[in-house]
Each structure stands twice: as C-alpha cells, then as structure tokens.
Amino acid sequence: MKRNLLLALGFVSVVITLYLIFVWVPTITEMGIVERIFYLMVPMGWLALLAFVVTFAGSVLFLVKKQDRWDFLARSSAEIGIVFTTVTLFIGAIWAKPIWGVWWTWEARLTATMILWFIYLSYFVVRSFATDEHRGAVFAAVVAIVGLVDVPIIALSTTLWRGMHPPALVFKGDIAPEMLLVMLTSVGTFTILYVFLLMLRVSVRRDEAEVQRLKELDR
C-alpha cells in the first residue's frame, strides 16, 4: 500500500519535473541547451552517493546485529547504486563532449565517481567469489565499510589533484533561482524513485529468502 502511494507520488513528480526541465525553465548560462543535462546529472550523482551511504549503514547494522534483513537492505541499495553510478559516468561523458571537447578527462569529480564505481564493483565481486552465501554477505559488508570511509579521502585527493569541474554552484550561492528550483525538484523526484526501487528490491529479496527457507524445511 505504502509502495503504491509512493509510486503514484513518483509518477506525479516525474511529470512535474519533466515539465519544469523542458518547458518552464529558460536556458540560463552560456552553455546553451547542454546545461539541461545538469538536471539529470546532479540527482544521479547524489543518488550514487546516497545509495552507498545506505549500503554502508546496512552493512554496519548487519555486522553488529547479525540479522539478514540489514544485508538485504545493503545489497539492494548497492545494486541500485551501481546503476546510478554507471548512468552518472555516461551522462558525465555526454556532457563533457560539447563543453570540454573530449568524452573523458581526468577531472576531479569524474575520477572520484569512477573510483566509486570500482568500489561498488568490488562489493559484488567479493560476494560472487565467496565460498558460501553468508560469508559473502559478511565480506561484502566489510568492503562497503572500508569503501565508504575511503570516499572523503578520494574526494579530497582528486580535488587537489585536478579541478576543472564547474565549482559546486549550489554552495557558492550564485546559481539562478530557477535552476536551483528545477534541480532540487529533480533531486527529490529521483530520490522517490530510489526509495521505491529499494523497497521493491528488498521485498523481493525477503520473499526469496522465505522460499529458500520453506524449501529447506521440505527436505
């Protein structure tokens, strides 16, 4: 029931966001039409991080409380997170081509996102190469914890190393109010989508575990 409400809310907000991006907001900066990619890139990047934080929280709770449901949460969030991270990288490349003239450059946030993607990947590698399911879950939780602790250090070192990304306009306060409104709406919409997907995935995973348990009872 809660999920259906969320779905309805998500649907409405997607329609509103699309209207805002393609009809309502004027082209503001000198980048031209390309700037509209921001309204997709910013929420994707935000969710790549948010999903990882949720994975981290789930992993810590799983290691402390030893209840499978926390692992379900962590793993489902990581699955969605790696998709968002991949999309961020692709959108980043599509944006970089007209603005910087190249598909890929070793720019700070692009580099950091790439490293994050590899950490997400190692989370799944460890799971699939573990000798049994439970051990894989514990190992993956360790990887998630180590990975999240690494994120601020990665961000710091890549920023000092390279910096040609437009500085975070939002924090400098000189972003046009229209842009900010659309960006925040878009972030909200995609966060609803994330929560919806997460709930769906966790419930599927819970059902799988239940089926597995019943099968073992039968044997």
Partner 1 sequence: MTFWNKVIAITWKDWLSEMRTREVVSSVLVFTLLVILIFTLAFGADRELMTTVAPGILWATFAFAGVLSFSRSFVPEKEHGCLEGLMAAPISREVIYAGKGLSSLLFMLIVEAIALPAFAFFSNVPVLSPQIILVTFVTTVGFVAVGTLFSALSANTRAREMVLPVLFLPIVIPILISAIKVSELALTGEPWSNLFTWFQIIGAFDLVFLAVSYLVFDFVIVE
| Residues within the interface to partner 1 (CB under 8 A) | 63, 115, 118-119, 121-122, 125-126, 129-131, 135, 138-139, 141-143, 145-147, 149-150, 153-154, 156-158, 160-161
Residue number with CB closer to partner 1 (39 or 56): 56
The CB-of-137 to partner 1 minimum distance in angstroms stands at 10
Q: What is the smallest separation between the CB atom of 202 and partner 1, expressed in angstroms?
A: 23
Q: Would you say the C-alpha torsion 100, 106, 111, 115 has a positive or negative sign?
A: positive
Q: Which is nearer to partner 1, 24 or 106 (CB)?
A: 106
Instruction: Please state, in angstroms and rounded to a whole number, the distance separating the CA atoms of residues 77 and 93.
Output: 24
Residue with Cβ nearer partner 1 (105 or 157) = 157
DSSP annotation of 174 reads: -
d(CA 72, CA 202) in angstroms, rounded, equals 6
Q: What is the DSSP code string of 23-87?
A: IISPP-STTGGGGGGHHHHHHHHHHHHHHHHHHHHHHHHHHHH--HHHHHHHHHHHHHHHHHHHH
Q: Which of 95, 86, 172, 161 is nearest to 124 (CA)?
A: 86
Query: Smallest distance, Å, CB 201 to partner 1?
Result: 24
- Closest separation in Å from C-beta 120 to partner 1: 9
Cβ 130 to partner 1 shortest distance, Å: 5
Nearer to partner 1, 104 or 139 (CB): 139
For residues 3-17, one letter each, b for 16 or more C-beta atoms within 10 angstroms of the residue's C-beta and e for the rest, the string is eeebeeebeebeeeb
* 149 vs 211 by CB, closer to partner 1: 149
